[in-house]
Structure 1
Amino acid sequence: MVVSILGHPKISAFLRKTRVWCKYKHFSELYQVLSIHLDEEIWKQYLAECTQWEKSKDPNWKLVSIFDPEYPKTLKEIYDPPLVLACLGNLSLLKSSIVAIVGTRKSSPVSLSATRKLVEVLSANKSLSIVSGMALGIDREAFLSAWEFGLPVIGVLGTTLGMEYPPGNRDLYKRIKEDPNQLLITEFLLKTEPAKWTFPKRNRVISGLSDKVYIMESGRKSGTISTAYSAMEQNREIYVFDHPKQFDNEGGRLLIRQGAHKLISEIKFSIEEVKVKNASMSYEDWCKKRTIPSEIRRDGRWDFDFNL
């Protein structure tokens, strides 16, 4: 049987629309009736495309369908779960306790420091895994901090496993692929380019995998907000980090007004306030290191402490 048929765009769209897959407990049962619902020539075409893809794919990639025992229970519970995942790495992470840490690519120094500190606090639970979207900014910092404090990561892609996007994170891809205790997953099997529609689909997987979702910084219109709204629909706990020195957290503050937990007060972090000499420092200035307030370290992190 060709498991990747569940990831063919036309087949998956048909199954999501009709919910036919819900009637079956085993992939073999669904596979036998799929051809009945499609024109014979179209079925043969799709099947040939997927058969060829499976023959040419990286042999280290594993396919996990929604009918398999390895498929994560939390993800299966959402309304529109991916029917198949392409995975590279440690599949047992899908059964671990998972929290999502997400945020804007253009992240503030204070948000990056808060992300690192949050991961440090969470690392007290060594059975925990961190999931995020392999983007720059907060996503990247979450993974780097997870490795620093000994936690495995799950990277969810908005592209195929064969594409390393964005290029600025190739070092992360290399590290994950070389370490058998990390994991990359995607629902996109056949050739899929990064596009506006692929990332909201990725974001619902990030929140769907998670017990809790931490929003570290978000503009009002962003992929992070997409993840947060998916988390709301999926009845996940949402925590938002908010600080006056963030560049743009309008989306995060909106979520707090809509009922999300405020990270600092909810988890009872206490912050030693930092007096910033140049509060008007722009994102571009920080990136170019032209203006660095004395309280910010040379690596861009803030020297304040979070204490439980």
Structure 2
Amino acid sequence: MVLSILGHPRISSFLRKTRLWCKFTNFEDLYQVLPNYFEEDFWNQCLKECFQWETDKNPLWKLVSFYDSTYPKNLKEIYDPPLVFAYMGNLGLLQSPLVAIVGTRKSSPVSLTATKELVRLLSTNKSLVVVSGMALGIDRQAFLSALEFGIPVVGVLGTTLGMEYPPGNRDLYKRIKEDPNQLLLTEFLLKTEPAKWTFPKRNRVISGLADKVYIMESGRKSGTISTAYSAMEQNREIYVFDHPKQFDNEGGKLLIRQGAQRLFCEIETTKEEGNVLEMSYDEWRKNRTIPFELGRDGGWDLKITL
């Protein structure tokens, strides 16, 4: 049997439209009936392409199908889970509590600094894993901070495992690939170029894997919004960081108006600023308060409580 057939674009599209996969409890039974729904030549061509991919793929790449016991429980519960995904690294991370940290590529200095502080506070939970999308900006900062503070990471790709996109993150890819305790995964098996349609699909997986989703900065038209809306549909907890010195957080403000919780409880300004901005964050209200400075962003003294 060719497990990667579940990841062939034409076959997976058919399965999603018909939801035929829901009628089976194992891949073997589904595999036996699938040929009945396609013309023989078409089916054989798809099989040939997938078999060739499995033969030529990097031996470090493994496959997990929806029917496997190692398939992550959270992801299995969403409406449109990947029927198969390829991964390299420590698959066991998907059995740990996961939090998603995402945001715009064009992130503000204050959001990058807040991301690092959030990860530092989360690092007190030794069993936690950070999941994000391997993009520049917030995603990159979340992973760099996680690696710095000893938190494992799960990078979800909008391309195949063989493509390191964006090129600006090649150093991050290298660090993750060389560490067997990290994980990269994707539902795109056959050659797939980065495109507008691939990233919303990736984003639903990011939120689907996580218990909580932290939005650190998002414009109204940012791809981060698609992650947030996926998280809403999946009934995930959503927290939004909002700050006056962000470049563009209109999407984040919209999410707060729609009921998302604010991240970080208070911001104290210097005397010259003269204003105090109150924020609420109830999740870890019993934990400590840790002050830190954002000197490169105009002298704000943030006192963050998680």
Aligned to 2:280: none
Aligned to 2:71: 71
Go from structure 1 to structure 2 and tell me whether the alpha carbon gap of 1:54 and 1:276 turns closer, same or farther (over 3 Å shift): farther
Aligned to 2:279: none
Alpha-carbon distance, 1:156 to partner = 0.3
Aligned to 2:145: 145
Output the amino acid matched with 2:72: P
Alpha-carbon distance, 1:148 to partner = 1.2
TM-score by length of 1: 0.90
Aligned to 1:306: 304
Output the amino acid matched with 1:306: I
Aligned to 1:291: none
Kept in 1: contact 2:157–2:184 (CA 8 A): yes
Tell me, in whole angstroms, the C-alpha distance in 1 between the residues paired with 2:272 and 2:220: 25
Tell me, in whole angstroms, the C-alpha distance in 1 between the residues paired with 2:270 and 2:218: 21
Alpha-carbon distance, 1:275 to partner = 7.1
Aligned to 1:84: 84
SS of the residue 1:49 aligns to: helix
SS of the residue 1:271 aligns to: strand
Tell me, in whole angstroms, the C-alpha distance in 2 between the residues paired with 1:130 and 1:251: 22
- CA deviation map 1:233-291 (0-9, x unaligned): 11111000000010000000000000111112xxxx343325789xxxxxxxxxxxxxx
Output the amino acid matched with 1:271: I
Aligned to 1:116: 116
Kept in 2: contact 1:155–1:184 (CA 8 A): yes
Aligned to 1:187: 187
Go from structure 1 to structure 2 and tell me whether the alpha carbon gap of 1:301 and 1:223 turns closer, same or farther (over 3 Å shift): farther
Kept in 2: contact 1:274–1:295 (CA 8 A): no
Aligned to 1:49: 49
Within 5 A, what are the aligned runs for 1:69-218? 69-218=69-218
Aligned to 1:296: 295
Aligned length: 287
Output the amino acid matched with 2:295: I
Tell me, in whole angstroms, the C-alpha distance in 2 between the residues paired with 1:202 and 1:274: 41
Output the amino acid matched with 1:238: I
Kept in 1: contact 2:113–2:294 (CA 8 A): no
Output the amino acid matched with 1:272: E
Output the amino acid matched with 2:101: I
Alpha-carbon distance, 1:306 to partner = 2.1
Structure 1 residue 271 corresponds to structure 2 residue 270 = no
- CA deviation map 1:103-131 (0-9, x unaligned): 00010010001101111111111101000
Aligned to 2:277: none
Tell me, in whole angstroms, the C-alpha distance in 1 between the residues paired with 2:127 and 2:299: 27
Deviating 4+ runs (over 4 angstroms): 274-277, 300-303
SS of the residue 1:146 aligns to: helix
Tell me, in whole angstroms, the C-alpha distance in 1 between the residues paired with 2:300 and 2:178: 31
SS of the residue 1:243 aligns to: coil
Go from structure 1 to structure 2 and tell me whether the alpha carbon gap of 1:274 and 1:5 turns closer, same or farther (over 3 Å shift): farther
Alpha-carbon distance, 1:304 to partner = 3.6
Tell me, in whole angstroms, the C-alpha distance in 2 between the residues paired with 1:223 and 1:138: 12
Kept in 2: contact 1:131–1:155 (CA 8 A): yes
Tell me, in whole angstroms, the C-alpha distance in 1 between the residues paired with 2:28 and 2:150: 39
Alpha-carbon distance, 1:303 to partner = 6.1
TM-score by length of 2: 0.90
Alpha-carbon distance, 1:27 to partner = 0.5
Between the aligned residues of both structures, percent identity stands at 76
Tell me, in whole angstroms, the C-alpha distance in 2 between the residues paired with 1:33 and 1:246: 53
Tell me, in whole angstroms, the C-alpha distance in 2 between the residues paired with 1:66 and 1:273: 50
Kept in 1: contact 2:219–2:251 (CA 8 A): yes
Alpha-carbon distance, 1:222 to partner = 1.0
Aligned to 1:247: 247
Runs of 5+ in structure 2 lacking a partner? Answer: 274-292
Aligned to 1:222: 222
SS of the residue 2:194 aligns to: coil
Go from structure 1 to structure 2 and tell me whether the alpha carbon gap of 1:275 and 1:39 turns closer, same or farther (over 3 Å shift): farther
- CA deviation map 1:210-252 (0-9, x unaligned): 0000000000001100000000011111000000010000000
Output the amino acid matched with 1:210: A
SS of the residue 1:15 aligns to: helix
Tell me, in whole angstroms, the C-alpha distance in 2 between the residues paired with 1:205 and 1:251: 20
Kept in 1: contact 2:156–2:202 (CA 8 A): yes
Tell me, in whole angstroms, the C-alpha distance in 2 between the residues paired with 1:23 and 1:94: 25
